[in-house]
Amino acid sequence: MTIELYTWGTPNGKKASIMLEECGLDYSVHPIDITKDEQFGAEFLAVAPNNKIPGIRDTDTGLTLMESGAILLYLADKAGKLMPTDGEERWRATEWLMWQMGGFGPMLGQAHHFHRFNKGKADYAEERFLKETQRLYGVLDKRLEGREAIAGSYSVADVATWPWAARFEWHGVDLDQFPNVKRWYLAIAERPAVQRGYSVPSAQDIPMP
């Protein structure tokens, strides 16, 4: 196996497994059960010192990497796939990958924390993160108007963003209100590599709006 993937069944973990499937790279899966604090174990910390999944080790080179955005760029580079090599599309893919890493991930994650798991404990936080989630979906919907994929053609930007959109029920989003996102979401859900990658480390059905 070329890539050892340390992961769990969350959006950030699924980004990496979907990317590995899309790139057709050989990989082995090491489940890190974050509900049992396995992310604090020494073996995992040697790969991902921030104690958050996903992490990878490339057995060809010995390189270890944490941070899903960096992992996607590394795999794109290694396989020569899903990252435009030049021109505006390259920078759009980079821009929207950063948008996902800084917004459409952290904000949605906070919405899950306050709205789904700790409802009623902090009204201000619930309202703030649900509102921010709606705003981010509006931005994505506008970006996808007249486009099949975020950067033009399917890229790391879509691989990063899609698994978070798959949690639409958790952050209280009705995809019918974001028709371009819904069309994009359903098209990507049809991809065999996405279906395989979504079921890592264990089988899971893709949520359907």
Ligand X SMILES: N[C@@H](CCC(=O)N[C@@H](CS)C(=O)NCC(=O)O)C(=O)O
Smallest separation, CB 52 to ligand X (Å): 3
Q: How far is the CB of 59 from ligand X (least distance, A)?
A: 20
Residue number with CB closer to ligand X (53 or 173): 53
**Residues binding ligand X (CB under 6 A):** 10-12, 34, 39, 51-54, 67-69
Would you say 71 or 182 has its CB closer to ligand X? 71
What does DSSP assign to residue 47?
T
DSSP-derived 3-state class of residue 58: strand
Minimum distance from residue 49 beta carbon to ligand X (Å): 12
Q: How far is the CB of 171 from ligand X (least distance, A)?
A: 14
| Tokens read off for 95 | 């821009």
The smaller minimum CB distance to ligand X, of residues 51 and 195, is found at: 51
End-to-end CA distance of the chain: 36
Q: What is the residue-wise DSSP string for 81-118? A: -SS--SHHHHHHHHHHHHHHHHTTTHHHHHHIIIIIIS
Burial, 143: exposed, middle or buried (Cβ in 10 Å; 0-12, 13-18, 19+)?
A: buried
Q: Is 18 or 182 the residue whose CB approaches ligand X more closely?
A: 18
